[in-house]
Amino acid sequence: MATYRYKLIAGGHRDVDGRDYVKGDTITTSRLLDEVFGKTKFQKIKEPEKNLKLTKPKKKVKPIIEEEQESLDGTDVTVNFPLASVNDFLVSRKGRWHYVYDKKDVTAPLNEKGLSSKDVSSFVHDLLE
């Protein structure tokens, strides 16, 4: 079986084994990630090689417990926002808008209006100041 190496160049990624990766991580896999997810998210590092070992992510992102996921309105996309994840915030996407929640209280978002994906990190940064 061929093995491919990719650099994650945008957002975050969770593989089928539940390992989380953040922008800049190198992923070794047997899947063609750039064909599945697009070349704007993954950059192929080398041509296929035999017998490469799977690499582990640089950082582990704390998994979200199921109760919190069910309380969020929309799809949980926290893995795509490392700053939010490491500071105990959750990010939910509903349609094209994103909402930031305190992990300890997911009953109401911290932002009144929906945020674009580009604005989430700066909103979280402002919350931390």
Structural domains of the chain, count:
2
Confidence (pLDDT) at 51:
56
- Tell me the pLDDT tens digit for each residue of 98-125: 999 998 888 889 999 999 989 999 999 9
Confidence (pLDDT) at 114:
93
Beta-bridge partner residues of 13: 21
Domain boundary pick from 40, 60, 80: 60
Under 8 Å between Cβ of 82 and 102: no
Asked if residue 50 and residue 73 are part of one domain, the reply reads: no
- Tell me the pLDDT tens digit for each residue of 41-92: 888 886 655 555 666 666 666 555 444 444 567 888 989 999 998 999 999 9
Residues 6+ apart with CB under 8 A from 6: 26, 27, 28, 29, 33, 34, 42, 43, 44, 45
Confidence (pLDDT) at 34:
82
Rounded CA-CA distance 64/119 in Å is: 22
Confidence (pLDDT) at 65:
45
Asked if residue 56 and residue 4 are part of one domain, the reply reads: yes
Confidence (pLDDT) at 46:
65
Mean pLDDT, residues 6-17: 84
Domain that holds residue 55: 1-60
Asked if residue 73 and residue 88 are part of one domain, the reply reads: yes
Asked if residue 31 and residue 9 are part of one domain, the reply reads: yes
Under 8 Å between Cβ of 70 and 64: no
pTM > 0.85: yes or no: no
Burial class (CB in 10 A: 0-12, 13-18, 19+), 12: buried
Asked if residue 71 and residue 122 are part of one domain, the reply reads: yes
Asked if residue 77 and residue 122 are part of one domain, the reply reads: yes
Asked if residue 77 and residue 45 are part of one domain, the reply reads: no
Rounded CA-CA distance 23/13 in Å is: 8
Asked if residue 72 and residue 18 are part of one domain, the reply reads: no
Backbone dihedral angles phi then psi of residue 91, each to the nearest 5 degrees: -125, 130
Asked if residue 56 and residue 73 are part of one domain, the reply reads: no
Residue 26 has pLDDT above 80, yes or no: yes
Residue 18 has pLDDT above 70, yes or no: yes
Asked if residue 70 and residue 47 are part of one domain, the reply reads: no
